[in-house]
Chains A and B, each alone.
Chain A
Amino acid sequence: MNERILIAGFGGQGALTAGQLIASLYLNRGVNVTWMPSYGAEMRGGTANCSVIASDGVIGSPIVSANAGIVMALNSPSLDKFEPVAAPGGTVILNTSIVTRGLKRGDVKSIKIDASNIAVNELKNIKVANMVMLGAYLTLHPEFTDDEIERVLNDRFGAKAAALIPLNMKAIASGKANAAR
């Protein structure tokens, strides 16, 4: 296996956290993983992205700058910038709450999810939009069980934020349920 994921959005949308959770899911499966944040000048402009690679083999560069199997675009500028990075046959996951256009390319698939609106209206917390996106991603990987997902949330948020885990699980479930291929 060689899963190459690029997740991008505005700073604060939780793109980096979503990436860490995905990396942890694969880590717990015992494969090699890397997570690499953008830390260049773009960090100051309020956008954030990260690359996640999970592989049976040696991971060379941890940066996904081409051949992404998955691109998760939490906002429009991210789609503009990273749609070209998707590999032919790859999947772009769109947060349709704020990404208004569809894909320009014909050789990639899309998953549409109204992530920000679901977070605000259904879950009453805009901060979990990234979890809704994560749920949409997990429709591609039904092999990850709820137990596994809860475990990485526990590891990531620790005892202090344990109260937030049910909300995050609900957001992931909603993402799974509402993802439209």
Chain B
Amino acid sequence: MKTLMKGNEAVSAAAIAAGCKAFFGYPITPQNEIPEYMSAKMAESGGVFVQAESEIAAINMIYGGAAAGARVMTSSSSPGIALKQEGISYLCAARLPCLIVSVMRCGPGLGGILPSQADYFQATRGGGNGDYNTPVYAPNSIQEATDLVQKAFNVAEQYRTPVMVVMDGLLGQMMEPAEIKPIPRFKNDTDKYATNGESGRRGRNIVNSLNLQAAALEQSNLRLAEVYKEIIKNEVMYESTVEDGDELVIAAYGTPSRIAQNAVAELRARGIKTGLIRPVTLWPFPDLAFQSLPSSVKNVLVCELSMGQMVQDVRLALNGKLPVHFYGRTGGVIFEPEEIVEKALEIAGGGQ
């Protein structure tokens, strides 16, 4: 049965339902309900909760917990995720699975605590060093957030990589009806890699990202690239309502995709044939959704709560095939459907 759940609490509950064994984090608005929830519920479920001395320490506790073979999770918000980037790079290199929930707020700098999507680059490109990627899921409802959190743990373990779930502050703070529907758990053979002090039973395991030999390090980067290729092949998720005959495509993710959905309905009512593409995975990006658009499509409009970040991936996917326009608000200002409609009419040449 669906109950009214707050986004931050719902993802926490979903993580525990998925068998999350340890949470390490540090307070930062607007994600504080996650560590608050975990501090109480981990004790009940026999898990581990540590409020770390910093975001940096938290992500390194995650590194330790993941190295010990546990299902581990941390959460933070934009400036805090910035501090975790070094650790994320290490987790990727050492092939350790974990879940990182990022509840985006406004930047740059200390910025503000209101909702934002200005950390698309932070999630999909990362600020850590080296050639790495992390799968990034962007739910647009609390129900989907609870589903994707569980999936994210499985994907993390299947490919042995950190996985991010990014939510704008809206999704973290709001309440919506949702129900946690448990999904089958990936069977993770931790004996293959875990450094949990059981070498006496199974031989030594080493968790490491250091390699000073050029040829060997290149090989390890190539292996990582192979993993990413598999993820790109298997894990892309998106929704599209685009039909043959549509002239305009609007692209948006997260909660703003719902605002865009209202705008699309309004545009169709006004006779402008419009479809919506909603990437669910931001990396791997659903290139194909854009590359396979019907020939009727003349323009693409990307709407984000940022100065324009995902729009770059849309342009890369389309590679000059179609004009790509952008509409965004920042600083915690949320666009209304009417604003998107107005921009769309401007693109379509003043409306019909």
| Residues of A near any B CB (own CB < 8 A) | 20, 23-24, 27, 32-37, 39-41, 57-63, 65-66, 155
Contact = CB atoms under 8 A, between A and B. Distances in A.
- Ranked nearest first, the 5 interchain pairs of A and B with the lowest CB-CB distance are A60-B259, A35-B175, A60-B262, A36-B174, A60-B258
B341 to A, nearest CB: 12
B337 A60 contact: yes
Interface string B287-324: 00000000000000000000000000000000000000
A36 B112 CA distance: 18
A37 B175 CA distance: 9
Contacts of B173: 36-37, 39
B29 A20 contact: no
Contact of B177 (A20, A33, A37): A33
A39 B115 CA distance: 10
Given A20-B175, A65-B334, A36 B170 contact: yes
B176 interface: yes
Interface in B3-43: 3-4, 29-30
Interface string B233-266: 0000000000000000000000110111111010
8 contacts: A20-B4, A27-B3, A33-B4, A35-B4, A36-B170, A36-B175, A62-B174, A63-B334
Interface residues of B, number: 29
Contacts of B258: 58-61
| Residue of A37, A39, A155 contacting most chain B CB atoms (<10 Å) | A39
Nearest to B263: A60
B255 A40 contact: no
Nearest to B175: A35
A41 B111 CA distance: 12
A57 B263 CA distance: 13
Contact of A24 (B4, B174, B259, B262): B4
Contact of B175 (A34, A58, A60): A34
Contacts of A32: 176-177
Contacts of A27: 2-4, 177
B175 A61 contact: no
Given A27-B4, A33-B4, A34-B175, A63 B113 contact: no
B336 interface: yes
Contact of B29 (A39, A57, A58, A62): A39
A32 B2 CA distance: 11
B199 to A, nearest CB: 47
A155 B175 CA distance: 15
B114 interface: yes
Nearest to B172: A39
| Residue of B176, B255, B337 contacting most chain A CB atoms (<10 Å) | B176
A67 B270 CA distance: 21
Interface string B29-63: 11000000000000000000000000000000000
A37 B29 CA distance: 13
| Residue of A23, A24, A36, A37 contacting most chain B CB atoms (<10 Å) | A36
| Residue of B170, B177, B335 contacting most chain A CB atoms (<10 Å) | B177
B107 interface: no
A36 B173 CA distance: 6
B332 interface: yes
A134 B317 CA distance: 51
Nearest to A23: B4
Interface string B169-197: 11001111100000000000000000000
Contacts of B30: 39
Contact of A66 (B3, B114, B265, B336): B336
A61 B339 CA distance: 13
Nearest to B142: A34
B174 A35 contact: yes
Contacts of B3: 27, 155
Contacts of A39: 29-30, 113, 169, 173
A37 B30 CA distance: 11
Given A34-B175, A36-B173, A58 B262 contact: yes
